[in-house]
Amino acid sequence: MEDSRPRLLLVWTTLHRASYNADMSIDEIRKYVRKQPFEPFRVFISDGSHYDVLHHDFMIVSPRVVEIGVAKDAKAFPDRIISCDPLHITRIAPINGAKRTNGRKKRP
């Protein structure tokens, strides 16, 4: 079966997809969501925006789309969903910039 899309669009789509997400795979994204204990993280998108994932249930990862639940307040339940192609996720970083501890204070 022949592709019915115009050839120019097919070439642009292939080149456009190849220009993003060279290092971030679906499996790598899923590792952040499934990490135990969960550590909140920030997802950076190719358009310059970023979104915080505060709970593992607030992100769904599939091969073609990543959906992130976004809340107005850090303590609120998400009130909207952001969808993007996983290829547009450029990097993921812990929100506070450091690894989270298990909640216990270190002894001096």
Instruction: Report the predicted TM-score, pTM, of the whole model to 2 decimal places.
Output: 0.67
81 Cβ contact list (under 8 Å, min separation 6): 67, 68, 69, 70
CATH code of the domain in which 68 resides: 2.30.30
3-class state of residue 41 by DSSP: strand
pLDDT in tens, 60-96: 999 999 999 998 887 888 999 999 999 999 999 999 7
Residue 102 has pLDDT above 60, yes or no: no
**Per-residue H/E/C for 58-96:** HEEECCCCEEEEECCCCCCCCCEEEEECHHHEEEEEECC
Please state the domain count of the chain: 1
- Tell me, yes or no, whether 108 lies in a domain: no
What is the residue range of 77's domain? 23-94
Yes or no: say if 71 and 77 are a contact pair by the CB < 8 Å rule. yes
